[in-house]
Amino acid sequence: MSAIKLIVGLGNPGKEYEQTRHNVGFWFVDELAWAWRATFKEEKKFFGEVARVSRPEGDVWLLKPNTFMNRSGQAVAALAQFYKIKPSEIMVVHDELDIACGRIKFKLGGGNGGHNGLKDIQARLSTPDYYRLRLGIDHPGDRNLVVGYVLNKPSAEDRQKIDDSIAKSLRGLPKIMAGEFEEAMRELHSK
């Protein structure tokens, strides 16, 4: 079992996307950077904002791609290849339509569920075998409404549920970082 060496938060760059559901991954890594006292810096060669954190288990990289969602893999692959980080040492944090707002799922591998960020990461890494921390945002009910839904702000009630799920995920992160994946899943998947 590999330790997590790269935590990627998915989102879209720019003020107009900052508060949208699709940026839940950015919200998570921003909170994590604050908790770990890390500072993001623009890194052109990694196509994003990067923070390096010295942890007891070794260096951990935080990444917010600046490539827009559908090109997220460009940033992930560039950093992973440069630092020789294996896919099994990567955790991608993203919004998940197929999970109720405020719920969390943690898993290794699997499909991309139509998520453009995951599709590109999978293509660039040539494998689906990386960890995903999936933060539920609900589904609008009709697939034709998905793009507008993910690119809009959640209601105040939904934002609170998402913020609570981020806080719960941060509490479960030490287990993930210690490689205690089963325990982390039990904790994160509970109501």
The residues that are catalytic are 22
Asked if 161 and 95 touch (Cβ cutoff 8 Å), the reply is no
* Residue set of the binding site: 17, 68, 70, 116
Distances (CA, A) of 25 to 56, 95, 142: 24, 7, 23
- Check if the beta carbon of residue 78 is closer than 8 Å to that of residue 92: no
Residue 132 and residue 109: Cα distance in Å, rounded? 7
d(CA 68, CA 13): 6
Q: Distance of alpha carbon 188 from its chain centroid, rounded?
A: 15
Place of tokens 């839904």: 149
Known binding positions for tRNA: 17, 68, 70, 116
